[in-house]
Chain A
Amino acid sequence: GDSVTQMEGPVTLSEEAFLTINCTYTATGYPSLFWYVQYPGEGLQLLLKATKADDKGSNKGFEATYRKETTSFHLEKGSVQVSDSAVYFCALGDSGSARQLTFGSGTQLTVLP
């Protein structure tokens, strides 16, 4: 079945540092890929998505590129801020009849001033 493997946390960075959170997946067909973010005390929010190979999703300075050859969708940001502190989830949307998302286990990011 489909699965998502996400870099384990927690990750602690200083403000303005470069961020990479690794995400790899296993799926049949041509899935869509998502990054969701959960800020403290809030619900899951879509951060960005990519629906086909080589697509780049971007939002709020975050980027991720759908790499079919390496089955990866790594999240990057060039300069993190304290306000980016949150839990980040990589997720896969199956392209078959199933519509549910399959999530990774999440990566806790803490950015220190």
Chain B
Amino acid sequence: GAGVSQTPSNKVTEKGKYVELRCDPISGHTALYWYRQSLGQGPEFLIYFQGTGAADDSGLPNDRFFAVRPEGSVSTLKIQRTERGDSAVYLCASSYPGLAGKDTQYFGPGTRLTVL
């Protein structure tokens, strides 16, 4: 079946611009996660959705970042007033949650964001 998809695969923008990154999870997966991966590092958690609501947004670095999932499926990560330090690969993952921490998260290919 189809895996997690993310669009665009690459996004180049200028400092100060607004960007939106989209994630389409595996059908039937109610949990959705956003992570950010800087070069040479492991992914770092940003936000977790269970259904339509953000259950944990403790990883969002500041108020320029926010994410929505209005119908409990597709999610959009939105970054306002982008900065060069926002350049990274943004990963989306989804899962069908069982016990906390034990469910397998399936990752998308990521969106590489470059802020010039």
Q: Which A residues lie at the B interface, using CB under 8 A?
A: 4, 6, 31-32, 34, 36, 42-46, 49, 51, 89, 91-106
Contacts and interface: CB of A to CB of B under 8 A. Distances in A.
Contact of A96 (B35, B101, B108): B101
A75 to B, nearest CB: 14
B40 interface: yes
A45 B107 contact: yes
Nearest to B110: A43
Contacts of B35: 100-101
Interface of B: 4, 31, 33, 35, 40-45, 48, 55-56, 59, 91, 93, 97, 99-110
6 contacts: A6-B42, A44-B91, A93-B101, A98-B56, A99-B31, A106-B40
B42 A98 contact: no
Nearest to B98: A51
Contact of A32 (B41, B91, B102): B102
* Closest A-B pairs by Cβ, 10 of them: A103-B42, A93-B101, A100-B45, A44-B107, A43-B109, A32-B102, A95-B101, A94-B101, A51-B102, A43-B107
A95 B45 contact: no
Contacts of B110: 43
A31 B102 CA distance: 8
Contact of B102 (A93, A97, A102): A93
Contacts of B45: 100-102
